Structure 1
Amino acid sequence: MKISVGMDIGHSAPKLVWATSTNPAQHYQDLFLTVVCPAIPLSDEGTRRRAARETVNLNGRDYFYGETAVKQGRAQSYSGQDKDWIFTDTHDVLVIGAFRRVAEAVETTIGYVPNHYELIVGLPQAWYDTQRRELKSRVTQLVEPMLRSGQTVNVRAQSQPNGPLQEMIFLSDGRVNPAHDFDNERWGVIEVGQGTSDFILTDGPDFIEAASGSCVGFAAVYERMTAILQSKNLPSDLGSVDRAIRNGALTAYGKQIDLASELRESSEQLLYVVRDEAQRRFGEATSSLNGVIVAGGGAQLLFPGLREVFPHAVMSPAPRFSVSEGFCRYGLSRFNP
């Protein structure tokens, strides 16, 4: 049996989607926060036991990641926010932790060990061409020592905005979606991630190079919301900022505080930047597109504003998982005869 894994190591949360070759339409999801810190001794047995699942050893040193790193490291921001972070220990820890979580979930769920993993990972469009070979090599070197005897892995590196497009191209079981004729359709993709917002434009099977690229991502909203919470003397730690953005509200001192207007203010500038960049990149082709796919963790917040200028925009069903979902479907398609 083979496993397809879509792994989107995002700047706010790695998102994971996996499925088996024997039941390809059943997909499983996981995510955790992009926070890494050196591990420290924990005195409480229960806390130590729970932290073990989010502890990784890299080059002889233990690291916490995810929720454990947030709590024990008292994180105030996400880890690894620079563009070359795939070359860092932080990214390596997240890859190891993500693959281990998938492998454990696979064996627990299906009850036996698969013989092959098809692992698809992503890069921002702007850095895809220069970093894809290094990413494929680095992830392969990290994952191979974790395989059981007889198992194999094939790592494929793709551009992140390919994921939302592949989510539409392929059905959940990896078969080509018969509702579309992608050889004769034209699509734009806007993927609003934490680190970058990425754009691609397709004309039939071809990608239009001049329309592909990246600009500022959803981190700008986090920075603005952090400043607003601090000005109001409200909690501004990473967890509080994330909840304020995800929910448009925050609980402080036992009271629910409505932050809907502050959230609109925080996202307004990013909306203008992303919308203008998309209009510039898609240009005169905009009106002839079959549609514009909007995906990524920031999609739900920006979608209404994007649709004002792209009335044919469609949002992925689960936009935060769209990249990893599309990657998983693409991996499943490799299993088809």
Structure 2
Amino acid sequence: MRSANGRPKSWAVVDVGHFTTDFLLMKENTYIESKVDSCEGITVAAEHLMKTLTGKGYKVTLQDCEQALRSRTIFHFGEKDIIPEVDEALVHVAARIKAKADALHGSEAASLDGILLAGGGAAMMRDRFRMEWENIKMVESPQMAVAEGYCRYGKGVMMKRAVQTPKVAAHP
């Protein structure tokens, strides 16, 4: 892809997943291997929320807390709003993700065409990251973005191989 002035576009990707958040950088259509890394994912927020709620007397599982990150409620002798606790847990993991992103892409973030946000945790992090990165864009169907990317990559490899494979002439 090219910008309006014909320059190849540059993008960072932040894929906020369950166990890890993964980062990469494509600078003018060139994959920058030194800018690829991973850090904590959404499970850190769920663990933080579980510790907080347990400290307040709730008997909750990690799965309860993972669901609560999305619903912002917990079922404990009835449904309870836990918005402040969820916000605290998400801020906790967002700070770790942002620190890693800054270490990897901080000097380039403002000059990128955009920072693409993907993964199952993208919706939970979008507003937190938008405050720091004006050029952040959440990809369509962020939960499936990695699978879609691998599918496109695989198709591209297969097409390239098909073009490179010598044709065998048919004998009469």
Question: Among 123, 126, 132, which residue is 1:309 paired with?
Answer: 132
DSSP 3-state at the match of 2:80: strand
Alpha-carbon separation, structure 1, partners of 2:91 and 2:119: 17
The yes-or-no answer on 1:209 pairing with 2:30 is no
Q: Where do residues 126-165 of structure 1 align in structure 2 (5 Å cutoff)?
A: none
How much is the aligned-residue C-alpha RMSD, in angstroms? 2.2
TM-score by length of 2: 0.80
Question: Among 49, 53, 65, which residue is 1:225 paired with?
Answer: 49
Deviation at 1:181, TM superposition (A): 3.3
Alpha-carbon separation, structure 2, partners of 1:334 and 1:208: 19
Residues 284/323 of structure 1: CA separation in 2 closer, same or farther (3 Å cut):
same
Deviation at 1:195, TM superposition (A): 2.1
* Structure 1 segments unaligned to the other structure (5+ residues): 1-179
Question: Percent identity of the aligned residues?
Answer: 27
**Which is richer in strand?**
1
Q: Is the 8 A contact 2:10 2:112 kept in 1?
A: yes
1:330 is matched with 153
Residues 320/212 of structure 1: CA separation in 2 closer, same or farther (3 Å cut):
same
1:181 is matched with 2
The yes-or-no answer on 1:242 pairing with 2:63 is no
One-letter amino acid of the structure 2 residue matched with residue 230 of structure 1: T
**Which is richer in helix?**
2
DSSP 3-state at the match of 1:190: strand
2:111 is matched with 288
How many residues matched? Answer: 157
Deviation at 1:211, TM superposition (A): 1.8
One-letter amino acid of the structure 2 residue matched with residue 213 of structure 1: D
Residues 239/209 of structure 1: CA separation in 2 closer, same or farther (3 Å cut):
closer
Deviation at 1:306, TM superposition (A): 1.0
Alpha-carbon separation, structure 2, partners of 1:218 and 1:243: 11
TM-score by length of 1: 0.43
1:265 is matched with 88
One-letter amino acid of the structure 1 residue matched with residue 44 of structure 2: A
* Structure 2 segments unaligned to the other structure (5+ residues): 163-172
The yes-or-no answer on 1:192 pairing with 2:13 is no
1:256 is matched with 79
Alpha-carbon separation, structure 1, partners of 2:156 and 2:139: 20
